[in-house]
Amino acid sequence: MLVSWNATNACNLKCGHCYRDAGREMPQELSTAEGYGLLEEVKKSGFKIIVFSGGEPLLRPDLCALISRAKSLGLRPVLGTNGTLLTRDKVEQLKEAGTAAVGISVDSIDSEKHDHFRGIKGAWELTEQGISNCREGGLPFQIHTTVFPWNYADIEKITDFAARSGARGHHVFFFVPTGRGKKNMAATITPQQMESLLERLLSLQERLPLEIKPTCAPQFMRIARQLKVATRFRRGCLAGISYCIIGPQGEVYPCSYMDLKIGSVRDDPFSEIWSKHPVLLKLRAQKYEGYCAVCSYRGVCGGCRARAFAGSEGNFMAGDPSCLYGYQEEKKMYPLAIELLVRLQDGLPVVSRPYAVMAEELGVSEDDVLKTLRWLKTSGFVRRLGGIIDSRRLGYAGTLCAARISPEKLQQAVGIINSYKGVTHNYLREHHYNLWFTVTASSAQELQQVVTEIRERIAVTEFYSFPCRDLFKIAVKFSKEELTDVFNRRCRTENPTG
């Protein structure tokens, strides 16, 4: 379990992708004392690793004191930094404080490209120096790279650089456009590029001694299984399950890329937020929607909840729009989904396993039918599948009542009527008879008693009861062509290939 703390918003660089829109220190960032309290709460919540990040965490004068406190509490303190401030002295101080490792951001090994992206001339030189200082000072480090279209083709070169520099790992971050990076929407790589890079990185992992970790592309777990590449990781997306992030002023988010504040450590203890917040409980329940709901890799992948959140108006349990596999597999389900919808409109066979019968009729397996139905429900095509019970065959009786009630007595009458459990609808109408409601009861005799009682209690003279004699149902049926059109339109709007 790991938690990140953006210990400050202050930063000495101006990177284009920064999700924090970092730069200046924010007013009232957590003080040292508040930081100590937070670390205790983090420990109490069962976390093992704390990542101090920013902004640039090395700009916090009390950073070493905080690291030292984390260490004394039994946490493993690590640092995420741009590396420009890692002087020899600083490396020594970090080591003494108990820093377990540092992650240093490198977006290109071409100094000009790196500086251009980091927004400051000379950044590359300082970062490179920081890397040598860590190596020579014996502070374990890894390289962090965020992928964009402009550096997409160079990622393996950066991995080689990381290996040459003595880094323990190369963590490749897949950009989710939020914060300052939101303006860079067009700068994200395509799902095809993502798929291809993940395949390349996993193959590389088999050949190189350093750890290559794709981050925030949880489908790497699916690809690792497809390619039969062993990884030490157990799950793709950790947001809310074994990871969350705390901002400089104590605000808590399920993940750095999900713009969904779930509390503040200044209002509630962190341990309370972590153990009880409904958003986190929902993420832990893992009841995904869209293709992620039926994907056989969902347990190890989980899909990126931040991309789902950004791509579906805040529904963080929706399908991950960046997953090419999910899109392609979902498309393969359309023909059976259409056949099933056509068939379902004629009713279910009344047998113990109706879907097995339907599967046989359609020449597919029962599992395929159930999977397709689950997907139809989680994708919003089908809201409810259920029987309609003909209550009259069970002896039930129903009536529609109409009453004329003066405005001053209306509220009281509505309260009386609604207190009867057999009342299913009660509504106002612009009509001489202005209040209409329906009542059902387990027999015609009981119905008569209830209606008489209601009429006496609301004390009206103008009142009618229209008992149900005949039943008419309006069936809306969609043809195969109409359903095909609906699916084709969805396919066009959701096509991640553009």
Name the site residues for ligand SF4 (rule: CB under 6 A): 176, 216, 218-219, 222, 237-239, 255, 257-258, 291-292, 295, 297-298, 301, 303-306, 320, 323, 325-326
Minimum CB–partner distance for residue 51 and ligand SF4 (Å): 12
Q: Report which residue type is found at 221.
A: M
| CA 205 distance to own-chain centroid | 28
* SS3 at position 239: strand
Shortest distance, position 283 Cβ to ligand SF4, whole Å: 9
How near is the Cβ of 293 to ligand SF4 at its closest, in Å? 9
Angle made by CA atoms 255, 260, 264, in degrees to the nearest 5:
85
Reading the block at residue 165, the tokens are: 């520099």
Residue 130 in tokens = 């920081």
Tokens of 283: 């993420």
C-alpha distances (whole Å) from 272 to each of 45, 198, 265, 290 are 9, 37, 9, 31
| Closer CB to ligand SF4, 117 or 174, in the complex | 174
Residue closer to ligand SF4, measured from CB, 161 or 257: 257
- Show the tokens assigned to 150: 């402009």
Strands 211-215 and 243-246: unpaired
Closer CB to ligand SF4, 10 or 301, in the complex: 301
Report, in this order, helix, strand and coil percent for the chain, each rounded to 5. Answer: 45, 15, 40
CB closer to ligand SF4, 347 vs 380: 380
User: Is the Cβ–Cβ distance between 274 and 244 less than 8 Å?
Assistant: yes
Angle at 179 between CA 175 and CA 184, to 5 degrees: 55
Token match 């390349």: residue? 200
| Least distance between ligand SF4 and beta carbon 330 (Å) | 8
Of 69 and 213, nearer to ligand SF4 (C-beta) is 213
DSSP secondary structure of 151-184: TGGGHHHHHHHHHHHT-SEEEEEEP---GGGGGG
Whose Cβ is closer to ligand SF4: residue 5's or residue 297's?
297
| Rg of the chain, C-alpha, whole Å | 30
Q: Compute the CA torsion angle 130, 132, 138, 139 (nearest 10 deg).
A: 30
Give whichever of 1 and 423 is closer to ligand SF4, judged by the CB atom: 1
Q: Given the complex with ligand SF4, which of 71 and 225 has the nearer CB atom?
A: 225
Q: At its nearest, how many Å lie between ligand SF4 and the CB of residue 162?
A: 21
| Residue 319: CB minimum distance to ligand SF4, A | 6
Contacts of 158 (CB under 8 A, 6+ apart): 106, 107, 108, 109, 143, 145, 151, 170
- Convert 325-344 into a string of H (helix), E (strand) and C (coil): HHHHHHHHHHHHHHHHHHHH
Task: Give the shortest CB-327-to-ligand SF4 separation in angstroms.
Answer: 8
Q: Which residue has the tokens 């964009």?
A: 148
For residue 271, the minimal CB distance to ligand SF4 (Å) is 21
Least distance between ligand SF4 and beta carbon 257 (Å): 4
Q: Measured from the CB of residue 454, what is the shortest distance to ligand SF4 in angstroms?
A: 53
What's the closest the beta carbon of residue 56 comes to ligand SF4, in angstroms? 21
- 49 - beta bridge partners? 2, 76
- For ligand SF4, which is the closer residue by CB, 296 or 445? 296
What stretch of H or E contains 420? Answer: none
Q: Which is nearer to ligand SF4, 58 or 224 (CB)?
A: 224
Nearer to ligand SF4, 300 or 401 (CB): 300
